[in-house]
Amino acid sequence: MSVPLSAIRDCLEGVIPSIVATLDPAGTPNVSYLSQVYLVDEAHVALSNQFFSKTVANVKATGRAAVVVVDGRTGQQYALDLAYERSLAEGETFERMAAQLKAISSQHAVGEVMALRSADLYRVIDCRAVPAAAAAVAVKPPEPVHDGERLALAARLAAAVAAQSDADAMIDRTLDGLTRDLGFANVMVLSLDEGAPRLTTLASRGYAVGGVGSEVALGDGSIGIAAATLRPVRLSDMSRGRRFAEAVRDSAEIDAARFIPLPGLVEPQSQLAAPMISRGKAMGVLFAESPDRFSFTAEDEDALTLIGAQLAASLRLAELEARETAPVVRTTADAAADVVAGSFRVKSFSFDDSLFIDDAYLIKGVPGRLLFHLLQVFVETGRRDFTNREVRLEPSLRLPDLKDNLETRLILLRRRLDEKAAPVRLTRPGRGQIRLEVQGTPRLELAPGG
Amino acid sequence: MGWRRVIDQDLAAFVQGPVMMILATRSAAGLPAIGRAIGARVTSGRDAIDIFVSPSQWADVLSGVVAGSQIAFTACRPSDYKTFQIKGEVLDVSPMDPADQAVAERYADDMTRELLGLGLQPHQIDHWLTRVGLVRLRLQPRSTFAQTPGPGAGAQLAQIAP
């Protein structure tokens, strides 16, 4: 093989469409564009098969295909001679291709017709560079591949995340490490509650707004697809695509009064979304993006996946530990601690548990229910200290048994209150403990449903 | 279905516009081979299509071509992925005359404008948008197929008996 397959990685990202040609048994050629060529190993590629039935029929009859791929970074073209091995309808290669294809097709707004039916596995007999057009500049060598370096950094960051005992610190350490050590300038972590239809932003770095509490629908864009498919998604050139942020803005379902804008670049060119998987389920997504093309390599994808898995495992452990903490020791000083003049209005809407403080939207769902409950107890009894344990057992909160990501929801609530500079804040005096810091007197109001 | 109907006026206009063009033949080695075309022109009677190909870039695709060789030609509009495939026979391969060269150069100009307008970078295009050293392939269409991505891809539109 004149060109090793690892050198053409950048071709295989769906930026510039690939071409596939086959012959039928009588020698009649067929030529078609191809949405995806996936690098399986040094000697194999897989081709996506959505609808080009003639290609498939020809290949099954003759066993051979020719493919041309284009390096989106340099424009260099490569010709591949392939021998058909077998079809894949499941397994890791198939699932990764399906997730990537979903992300690309959601970008191009072609929707469900792009669903991957099967992937066809081929042995690569030859891979050679196509000579450049006379007018073109000299062929640039492929970008050097620093195999292993980024993974080593990721392993160190995963270890640093694992060393944290506090869920808040795990999240901050992850994002700080991604920006400082791995050089990802724009990053977010989003959480997903089991059975929920959307992800919620917990923290971000590199954006003008923090966006805590903003939401992404499961299955939408690279973030939603990574969560829904449990596979990383990497996009390298979004110049032609319908951008995810636009899609979110265009959504007809947005309730403007209850909407927190997702932080995000106005014109991202590259995106990388890695699912945070624990016990086979997505607990959230780690996300990075860039205004430049080809910002993320295949190794970055592996690196973010590794860190995402560590963060998921650490957060789950923190969740379990927070349940078993002894009740907080209350000091008598607490009760009379704050006598601040003034009051603020807290209004809860029961139909979606959305909460407004002085008419400004705060949050909805379980965190909204939770804060309203804590404030009710505070107003009735003056108590400010609570434990995760009692909150979990409180029937009015309707927390799903065993599945409550209570720690994550408390982090979300606490960060959202901080970001809004709200007159009520949460602090965590110790593991499994929650303290209300209230500036003024809350006036609680329960709006009728609807 | 008369033979002229294989290429109707709409399809003729489509393939002569700024659309991406790819072709495949059976190479001298007996294998499928791929090339790109730089422009197309439908003859006045719509009974043949001339396409322009760089032999230095796409040696394989021309290696087995003689008069009568089978050829597949696919044109795709980059703005909406509308795609057609035309299958037929090569009538001849010949050097470019000035009129051919003018068609190829106008195509290269239009295509560059189209793709840059869609956000591609010049260096992503320059590698294949060859303007020099082209040859002309004249092909006689036998059948046409809709190939726009989607459930209808592959549907036959027209055919004449061989």
Q: What is the pLDDT of residues A127-140, one digit of tens each?
A: 999 998 765 455 44
Please judge whether A75 and B133 are an interchain contact, meaning their C-beta atoms are less than 8 angstroms apart. no
Query: 10 Å Cβ neighbour count for A113?
Result: 14
Rounded (5°) CA angle B22-B27-B32: 55
State the pLDDT at residue A196: 82
Count of A-B CB contacts under 8 Å:
140
State the pLDDT at residue A74: 82
Confidence of residue A393 (pLDDT cuts 50, 70, 90): confident
What element of type H or E holds A435?
A: strand A433-438
Residue written as token pair 């959202």: A416
According to DSSP, residue A330 is labeled P
| Cα-to-chain-centroid distance, residue A77 | 32
ipTM of the complex: 0.94
Confidence of residue A118 (pLDDT cuts 50, 70, 90): confident
Please judge whether A130 and B58 are an interchain contact, meaning their C-beta atoms are less than 8 angstroms apart. yes
The minimal CB distance from A75 to the residues B23, B87, B123 is found for B123
Contacts of A102 (CB under 8 A, 6+ apart): A114, A115, A225, A229, A233
Chain B residues touching residue A51 (CB < 8 angstroms): 149-151, 153-154
C-alpha to C-alpha distances, B75 to A108, A236, B54, nearest whole angstrom: 19, 25, 17
CA distance to partner chain B, nearest, from residue A239 (Å): 5
Q: Please state, in angstroms and rounded to a whole number, the distance separating the CA atoms of residues A84 and A98.
A: 20
CA distance to partner chain A, nearest, from residue B122 (Å): 9
Chain A from 301 to 320: CB within 8 A of any B CB: none
| Residue A325 touches chain B, beta carbons under 8 Å | no
* Rg value, chain A, Cα: 26
- pLDDT tens for residues A271-289? 999 999 998 999 999 999 9
Enter the tokens of residue A186. Answer: 């724009």
Residue of B53, B89, B127, B128 for testing the chain A interface, max A β-carbons within 10 Å = B127
Share of chain A above pLDDT 90, in %: 50
State the pLDDT at residue A267: 84
- pLDDT tens for residues A40-62? 888 999 998 766 678 889 999 99
Enter the tokens of residue A369. Answer: 């229910």
Decide if A183 contacts A150 (C-beta within 8 A).
no
Chain A residues touching residue B73 (CB < 8 angstroms): 31
Enter the tokens of residue B132. Answer: 């020099």
Please judge whether B72 and A30 are an interchain contact, meaning their C-beta atoms are less than 8 angstroms apart. yes
Residue B4 has pLDDT above 60, yes or no: no
- Tell me what the mean pLDDT of segment A155-168 comes to: 94
The DSSP bridge pattern shows strands A233-235 and A215-217 to be unpaired
Q: Please state, in angstroms and rounded to a whole number, the distance separating the CA atoms of residues A215 and A199.
A: 5
| Residue A337 touches chain B, beta carbons under 8 Å | no
Chain B residues touching residue A110 (CB < 8 angstroms): 81, 149-150
Decide if A27 contacts B26 (C-beta within 8 A).
yes
| Residue A439 touches chain B, beta carbons under 8 Å | no
Please judge whether B34 and A239 are an interchain contact, meaning their C-beta atoms are less than 8 angstroms apart. no
Residue A335 has pLDDT above 60, yes or no: no
Share of chain A above pLDDT 70, in %: 83
| Residue A116 touches chain B, beta carbons under 8 Å | no
Burial profile B86-118: b = 16 or more Cβ within 10 angstroms, e = fewer = bbbbbbebeebeeebbebbbebbeebbebbeee
State the pLDDT at residue A111: 46
Q: Which of A84, A122, A33 is nearest to B34 (CA)?
A: A33
Mean pLDDT over each residue of chain A, to the nearest integer = 84
Rounded (5°) CA angle A78-A84-A86: 130
